[in-house]
């Protein structure tokens, strides 16, 4: 991987000179990022490095102070989140973010409906949404939630909520899938399931993920971008990045490098 | 604020659903729902025989108004504190259309409701970009502005004198008797209530509930949240306008009271008392509050606001789900 692949000349998702300032503080400070089509690209870095802010910029949840974002070569800078979603950029949330009183099935039906105009039809019966039920059940089955289709999101266990997050993102048929810490707070068993699931759904898609768990990054990522203080510290294949002195310093401090050399 | 309001007192439990995979509409068994709907129709048809017909008309108007507010508060998570602007604008527009154009009253009410929608476009456009208390403040500010304009624009609104002698025309039928007017107005009321019921149980309504529960997530799914909120706002303004227009025809008089902020407040109180996010609740609340106010004023009690206010405080403290929300909750726990 690392080439532009079959999807065309352009990276699936590209950021150029991206800056985000909060009252003079630069959370993202001139980030250039090119995510090759069909690759899995991990964003890592210590807390406060600007990963989540960058994620919000790349999905329209925050407008950049300066810089440019392109999806498959098309400028999308300044679009609202729903605009990114309609251009095939779907995201999950780090803190699980669902509709508390709707069932798992209703969640996925809503996601499947979002591309059509059915959602505007206030004079039609909600039963029309059943046209999405078969596909919704397929997606729930894919993430292992078929048995819990009738459970409201509030009543789902944590790991199941994360699985539903993934089903929602997949329902949008995204070309670029952004996953914000997909294994955060999970037990080992759920982590393994999620890694297997991402490995399965990456086919034909581009995946960008923020992830702290290095074994997850190692198992999935083609390329890794390390952020520090809002800037790109290192970018490259996982094995190269892991061995990079600057990365070890960023994570563990100067002492760790000296210890590694002694 | 929109997140702290307990919007639906009812929630489906996984195993309790008559149809797997759905939360909506499974709380009350089907036969009971039909029985309730039938009973509601009978009560609506009987009402002016058991109550003073003027009060029956008032109940119908306030029911429309309260259900309109509930569409926003209960199903979209937006607390409007300025809905008197739509109720009152429609009352004036309806009155003027009936006086100057001599329209049959259903047409005049439609003109009024459409006037309310026209006003709701700019108000809603600016308001839906705010959430919680800020949304309430924007709607209140606009309502106060409309009140001020109506007060100053005497050549049209007659200022404090109000619009007098609003005609009640319907193809030459004699509707001066409130009893007959109630039945003539009933189809409009039923139509307005059906409109909101339909919207709540439509694909659109499902999107609204999603927006209420989690607007950011709805946007990430590709839904233009502001536009959906604006559409709900317009629907709500239209329904409130139907109520306000009928209110003007029913009283044959429009005063500045219809635009006063206490009118907005009363609508919210009715919804909270009846049960937010239940549709039935606001109808029951409208009947209860209107009946109570009539009874108090008949008994010569001056401080009506004191009583309704006290009941409101008690309801918020003790029955947070409102009358209907409490009943539905109780039914669900038994069933």
Q: What is the pLDDT of residues B245-272, one digit of tens each?
A: 999 999 988 888 899 898 999 999 999 9
Q: How many CA atoms lie within 13 A of B287 on its CB side?
A: 14
Q: What percent of chain A has pLDDT over 70?
A: 93
Q: What are phi and psi of B103, to 5 degrees?
A: -70, 150
Q: Confirm whether pTM is higher than 0.90.
A: no
Q: What span, in angstroms and rounded, lies between the C-alpha atoms of A182 and B39?
A: 51
Residue A255 pLDDT grade (very low, low, confident, very high; cuts 50, 70, 90): low
Nearest to B62 by CA among B95, B87, B92, B97: B87
Q: Does B129 touch chain A (CB under 8 A)?
A: no
Q: In what order do the strands lie in the sheet with A13-22?
A: A25-35, A13-22, A66-71, A74-75
Q: What span, in angstroms and rounded, lies between the C-alpha atoms of B58 and B250?
A: 8
Nearest CB among B198, B220, B235 relative to A81 is that of B220
| The predicted structure's pLDDT at residue B226 | 94
Q: Mean per-residue pLDDT for A184-198?
A: 85
Q: What is the pLDDT of residues B171-200, one digit of tens each?
A: 777 777 888 889 989 999 999 999 999 999
Q: Which residue has the tokens 């059915």?
A: A118
| The predicted structure's pLDDT at residue B37 | 86
Residue A158 pLDDT grade (very low, low, confident, very high; cuts 50, 70, 90): confident
Measure in Å the smallest separation between the Cα of B159 and chain A Cα atoms.
38
Measure in Å the smallest separation between the Cα of B208 and chain A Cα atoms.
9
Residues of A in contact with B72 (CB under 8 A): none
Tell me the CA distances in angstroms from B333 to A26, B9, B30, B230, one per residue in order.
Answer: 53, 12, 16, 36
Nearest to B127 by CA among B198, B229, B210, B266: B229
| The predicted structure's pLDDT at residue A1 | 40
Q: Mean per-residue pLDDT for A98-110?
A: 90
Q: Is A29 helix (H, G, I), strand (E, B) or coil?
A: strand
Domains of chain A: residue spans and CATH: 1-88+174-262 (3.40.50.300), 97-167 (no CATH)
Beta strands A231-236; A223-228: pairing state = antiparallel
- pLDDT greater than 80 at residue B19: no
DSSP assignment of A187-235 equals: -HHHHHHHHHHHHHHTTTSEEEEE---HHHHHHH-SEEEEEETTEEEEE
Q: Determine the straight-line distance between the first and last CA of chain B, rounded to whole angstroms.
A: 32
Q: In what order do the strands lie in the sheet with A89-91?
A: A89-91, A176-180, A206-210, A40-44, A223-228, A231-236
Q: What span, in angstroms and rounded, lies between the C-alpha atoms of B263 and A34?
A: 57
Residues of A in contact with B228 (CB under 8 A): 119
Q: What are phi and psi of A132, to 5 degrees?
A: -95, -5
Q: Mean per-residue pLDDT for A139-166?
A: 88
- pLDDT greater than 90 at residue B320: no
- For an interface test with A, give the residue of B19, B213, B217, B277 to mutate (most A CBs within 10 A): B217
| The predicted structure's pLDDT at residue B109 | 94
Tell me the CA distances in angstroms from A91 to A80, A179, B218, B303, one per residue in order.
Answer: 13, 6, 12, 55
- pLDDT greater than 70 at residue B8: no
Residue B152 pLDDT grade (very low, low, confident, very high; cuts 50, 70, 90): confident
Nearest to B92 by CA among B107, B112, B76, B78: B112
| The predicted structure's pLDDT at residue B76 | 92
Q: Mean per-residue pLDDT for A76-94?
A: 88
Say if the Cβ atoms of B203 and A129 lie within 8 Å.
yes
Beta strands A66-71; A74-75: pairing state = antiparallel
Q: Is B202 helix (H, G, I), strand (E, B) or coil?
A: coil
Strand partners, A103: A152
Q: What span, in angstroms and rounded, lies between the C-alpha atoms of A47 and A45?
A: 7
Q: Mean per-residue pLDDT for B1-29?
A: 43
Strand partners, A40: A207
DSSP assignment of A132-151 equals: GHHHHHHHHHHTT-GGGTTS
Q: Mean per-residue pLDDT for B69-94?
A: 93
DSSP assignment of A61-117 equals: SS--SEEEEEETTEE-TT--HHHHHHTTEEE--SS----TTSBHHHHHHHHHHTTSS
CA angle A95, A214, A10 (to 5 degrees): 80
Q: Mean per-residue pLDDT for B80-86?
A: 93
Q: What span, in angstroms and rounded, lies between the C-alpha atoms of A58 and A68?
A: 10
| The predicted structure's pLDDT at residue B196 | 95
- pLDDT greater than 90 at residue B96: yes
Measure in Å the smallest separation between the Cα of A65 and chain B Cα atoms.
21
- pLDDT greater than 60 at residue A51: yes
Say if the Cβ atoms of B203 and A113 lie within 8 Å.
yes
Q: What span, in angstroms and rounded, lies between the C-alpha atoms of A247 and B137?
A: 50
Contacts of B158 (CB under 8 A, 6+ apart): B164
- pLDDT greater than 80 at residue B30: no
Residue A2 pLDDT grade (very low, low, confident, very high; cuts 50, 70, 90): very low
Residue A8 pLDDT grade (very low, low, confident, very high; cuts 50, 70, 90): low
């Amino acid at each position: 991987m690392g080439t532009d692949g079959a999807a065309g000349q352009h990276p699936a998702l590209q950021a150029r000179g991206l800056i985000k300032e909060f009252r003079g503080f630069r959370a993202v400070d001139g980030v250039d990022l090119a995510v090759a089509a069909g690759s899995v690209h991990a964003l890592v870095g210590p807390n406060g490095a600007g990963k989540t802010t960058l994620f919000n910029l790349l999905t329209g949840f925050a407008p950049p102070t300066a810089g440019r974002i392109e999806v498959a070569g098309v400028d999308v800078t300044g679009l609202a989140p729903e605009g990114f979603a309609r251009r095939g950029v779907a995201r999950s949330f780090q803190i699980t973010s669902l509709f508390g009183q709707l069932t798992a099935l209703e969640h996925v039906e809503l996601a499947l409906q979002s591309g059509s105009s059915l959602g505007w039809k206030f004079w039609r019966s909600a039963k029309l949404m059943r046209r999405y039920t078969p596909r919704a059940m397929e997606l729930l089955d894919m993430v292992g939630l078929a048995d819990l289709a009738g459970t409201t999101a509030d009543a789902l266990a944590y790991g199941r909520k994360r699985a539903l997050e993934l089903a929602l993102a997949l329902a949008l048929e995204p070309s670029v899938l952004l996953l914000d810490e997909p294994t955060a707070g999970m037990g080992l068993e759920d982590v393994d399931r999620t890694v297997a699931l991402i490995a399965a759904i990456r086919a034909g898609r581009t995946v960008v993920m923020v992830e702290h768990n290095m074994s997850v990054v190692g198992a999935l990522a083609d390329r890794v971008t390390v952020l520090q203080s809002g800037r790109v510290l290192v970018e490259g294949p996982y094995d190269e990045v892991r061995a990079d002195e600057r990365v070890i310093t960023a994570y563990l401090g100067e002492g760790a490098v000296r210890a590694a050399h002694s | 604020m929109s997140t702290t309001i307990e919007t639906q007192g009812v929630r489906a439990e996984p195993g309790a659903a008559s149809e797997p995979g759905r939360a909506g509409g499974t709380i009350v068994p089907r036969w009971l729902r039909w029985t309730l709907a039938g009973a509601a129709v009978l009560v609506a048809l009987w009402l002016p025989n058991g109550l003073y017909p003027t009060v029956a008309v008032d109940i119908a108007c306030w029911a429309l108004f309260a259900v309109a507010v509930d569409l926003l508060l209960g199903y979209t998570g937006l607390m409007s504190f300025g809905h008197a602007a739509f109720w009152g604008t429609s009352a004036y527009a309806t009155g003027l259309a009936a006086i100057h154009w001599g329209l049959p009253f259903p047409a005049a009410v439609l003109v009024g409701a459409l006037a309310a929608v026209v006003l709701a476009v700019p108000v809603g456009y600016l308001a839906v970009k705010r959430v919680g208390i800020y949304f309430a403040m924007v709607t209140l500010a606009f309502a106060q502005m409309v009140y001020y304009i109506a007060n100053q624009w005497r050549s049209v609104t007659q200022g404090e004198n109000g619009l007098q002698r609003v005609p009640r025309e319907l193809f030459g039928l004699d509707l001066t008797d409130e009893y007959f007017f109630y039945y003539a107005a009933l189809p409009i009321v039923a139509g307005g209530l059906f409109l909101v019921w339909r919207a709540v149980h439509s694909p659109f309504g499902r999107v609204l509930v999603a927006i209420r529960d989690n607007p950011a997530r709805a946007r990430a799914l590709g839904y233009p949240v502001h536009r959906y909120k604006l559409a709900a706002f317009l629907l709500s303004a239209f329904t409130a306008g139907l109520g306000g227009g009928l209110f003007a025809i029913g009283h044959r008089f429009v005063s500045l009271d219809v635009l006063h902020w206490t009118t907005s407040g009363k609508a919210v109180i009715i919804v909270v008392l009846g049960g937010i996010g239940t549709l039935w609740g606001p109808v029951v609340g409208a009947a209860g509050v209107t009946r109570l106010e009539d009874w108090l004023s008949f008994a010569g009690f001056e401080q009506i606001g004191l009583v309704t206010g006290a009941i409101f405080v008690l309801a918020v403290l003790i029955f947070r789900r409102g009358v209907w929300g409490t009943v539905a909750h109780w039914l669900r726990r038994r069933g």
